[in-house]
A and B are shown apart, each in its own frame.
Chain A
Amino acid sequence: MYNETVMDHFTNPRNVGVIEDADVVAETSSPGCGDITKIYLKIRDNRIADVKFQTLGCAAAIASSSMATELVKGKTLEEAWKLTRKDVADALGGLPEPKLHCSVLAEDAIRRAINQYRIDRGLAPW
């Protein structure tokens, strides 16, 4: 059902865990299945210096979080904001049709974190 890249990111997820002194933490849950992704960001000079995630979800959700965190690491907030679920699914070499919605968790959690960071600093959310 899943390709090798997805299985690799599922069985050996990158960036899984917690950042104790994160600058911002955000969480999102899927209205459909109730699965949850939590994102921790460490931000230096407008760049994502470190990122970690936790996911309670299916293999596609875990693999998407893993890939999405890889894609935004080191990026500016502007660049990270532009990350879409399609970018994540493409980087994973595709997800099965019924599992496409699972990749939205990572995108949504990262955007929430970025906006929360902006709000915390008195900036208007994007």
Chain B
Amino acid sequence: MSRIFDVAVIGGGPAGLAAAVSASENGASVALIERESRLGGILKQCVHDGFGLIRFGQKLAGPEYAERYIELLKNTKTEVFLTTFVTAVKKADFGFSIAIVNKEGISHIDTKTIVLATGCRERTSKQVLIQGTRPSGVFTAGVAQNFVNLLGKMPTKKCVILGSGDIGLIMARRLTLEGAEVEGVYEVKPTPSGLTRNIHQCLFDFNIPLHLSTTVTRVFGEDRLNTVEVAQVDEKMKVVEGTERIIECDALILSVGLIPENEIAETLDVKINNATKGAECDQTYMTSVDGIFSAGNALNVFDLVDYVSESAQSAGASAADYQGTKREYIEIERGKGLLSFVPTRLDILGKLDKVILFFRAARDMDKAKLILKINGEIKLEKKFSYLRPPEMQRLELDLQNYGLDGSSKVLLTLEEGWN
């Protein structure tokens, strides 16, 4: 009879590493499956520092952070499958059968539970509307990062960056340090989408201009891009005529956001949350499908890798503990002022004393107040001096003494103004 793992973790980035380590430490037999030839996920190409301040109390570079976890993994009995691609997952009476492809051919890994830790992907030019030809020279910030930091190759001499997401800001600095000219960063919204500190240390430190309420309207070039047109937009995101400007450059780099990678989740009919675009999950990180857990950026774009690891550590422990015990769910309703949060639902039969809530505000707010209402009654309030959508917040909630039952209505809202 073939072997059945207690937990199979799909994805060997920081989320998968933390999930595998914690599942092992909780006594589970663990398989970790990664399609690339080495572990670390996207951190391998994030050579800048700023990772691990919360988890390790130190400012680490991405690969350094990954290596810490790879060392922790070596102390466990986790079986690691590298250069192994998951093609499909099927339900079975024992749990799940994962179809894989690697250099030994096609086979399968059987497991009782799965942690999905497949990370996120970048939005591409298909998701932003730009007119003109389709020359080469239009790529995402992550692709540029891969070129420079993993291959040691420069993809541009002079570029324009569209979107003010953090990866774009980080790459503006990186490309400038390597001798390229970054003509400017263009953001269609009136506020930047990246962290304020990145606007300062990546753009302003290097005199790279940030143009808000401005977008790229056209691209030109035969084989290779040679010109882009930018223009300002009004409050309705309509181009303001007469503000068009032509910029000569050899690349347009897109940094227009990240979305959770849900390919496998969708084949399993895992419910997807509208706000996070990742799986619906309860406080143990279990999705709507029993035995399937989700963690890291596959669940919710966390940005901060420390939070990725924390969520994955819980997901791994939950998967190891999984007994198929009955659960009863209530959804947490998203009220005004909130962009997204996890968990999106609560298992009221499970532990409710230490629920970790991660949330983002829908807009910039000063003196903001997070309010938790149960059946219309305010149960909890938490004040924040200011909140920005790019900065995810973490809060530990004790919900065990509110008498939650299957008919309870739980509502989260953010309000502005307190004294």
A and B physically associate: no
